Amino acid sequence: MEGRLNRSLASSLEIVNLVDYHTHTYLCGHAVGKPVDYVEAAISANLVEIGVSDHLSLSIPEDSVPLDELHLYVDMVEEAKRLYEDRIRVRLGLEVEYSCDKIESIANILESIDDLDYTLLSIHKIGEWVINSSKSKDRYMKIDLYKLYEEYFDLVCEAASSKMFQIIAHIDLPKIFGFKPCEDMKPLYEDTARRLAKAGVCVEVNTSGLRKPVAEIYPAREFLEVLRRYNVPITLGSDAHKPEDVAYHFEDAIKEISKAGYRCISVFDKERRMEIPIF
Ligand SMILES: [Zn+2]
Ligand SMILES: [Zn+2]
Q: Does 91 map to a domain?
A: yes
Domain count, the chain: 1
Output the CA 231–ligand 2 centroid distance in Å.
24
User: What is the CA 141 to chain-centroid distance, rounded?
Assistant: 27
Q: Does 68 map to a domain?
A: yes
Output the CA 239–ligand 2 centroid distance in Å.
5
Nearest-angstrom CA–CA distance, 152 and 122:
11
Q: Does 143 map to a domain?
A: yes
CB 218 within 8 A of CB 209: yes
Q: Does 2 map to a domain?
A: no
pLDDT at 279: 86
pLDDT at 15: 74
Nearest-angstrom CA–CA distance, 98 and 9:
35
Output the CA 231–ligand 1 centroid distance in Å.
24
Q: Degrees (nearest 5) of the Cα angle 229, 168, 231? A: 15
Q: Does 172 map to a domain?
A: yes
Nearest-angstrom CA–CA distance, 233 and 279:
15
Ligand nearest to the CA of 132: 1
Nearest to 52 by CA among 17, 15, 79: 79
Output the CA 95–ligand 1 centroid distance in Å.
7
pLDDT at 12: 52
Q: Does 214 map to a domain?
A: yes
Mean pLDDT value across the chain:
94
Output the CA 97–ligand 1 centroid distance in Å.
8
Dihedral of the CA atoms 126, 147, 141, 253 (nearest 10)?
-80
Ligand nearest to the CA of 241: 2
In eight-state DSSP terms, residue 59 is S
Domain of 254 in residue numbering reads as: 16-277
Helices 221-229 & 250-260, crossing angle to 10 degrees?
A: 50
Output the CA 133–ligand 2 centroid distance in Å.
13
Output the CA 80–ligand 2 centroid distance in Å.
19
pLDDT at 16: 80
Instruction: Tell me which residues have their CB within 5 A of the ion that is ligand 1.
Output: 122
Nearest-angstrom CA–CA distance, 236 and 278:
11
pLDDT at 5: 55
Output the CA 224–ligand 2 centroid distance in Å.
19
pLDDT at 31: 98
Output the CA 13–ligand 1 centroid distance in Å.
31
Sign of the dihedral through C-alpha 56, 157, 184, 264: negative
Nearest-angstrom CA–CA distance, 107 and 271:
14
CB 176 within 8 A of CB 213: yes
3-state secondary structure of 268: strand
- Find the CATH number of the domain harbouring 68: 3.20.20.140
CB 25 within 8 A of CB 35: yes
pLDDT in tens, the chain (279 residues): 444 455 455 455 467 899 999 999 999 999 999 999 999 999 999 999 999 999 999 999 999 999 999 999 999 999 999 999 999 999 999 999 999 899 999 999 999 999 999 999 999 999 999 999 999 899 999 999 999 999 999 999 999 999 999 999 999 999 999 999 999 999 999 999 999 999 999 999 999 999 999 999 999 999 999 999 999 999 999 999 999 999 999 999 999 999 999 999 999 999 999 999 998
Sign of the dihedral through C-alpha 79, 80, 86, 92: negative
Q: Does 118 map to a domain?
A: yes
Q: Write the CB contacts of 252 (distance below 8 Å, at least 6 apart in sequence).
A: 207, 210, 217
Q: Does 104 map to a domain?
A: yes
pLDDT at 7: 47
E strands, 128-255, are 129-130, 167-168, 202-206, 234-237
Nearest-angstrom CA–CA distance, 219 and 225:
10
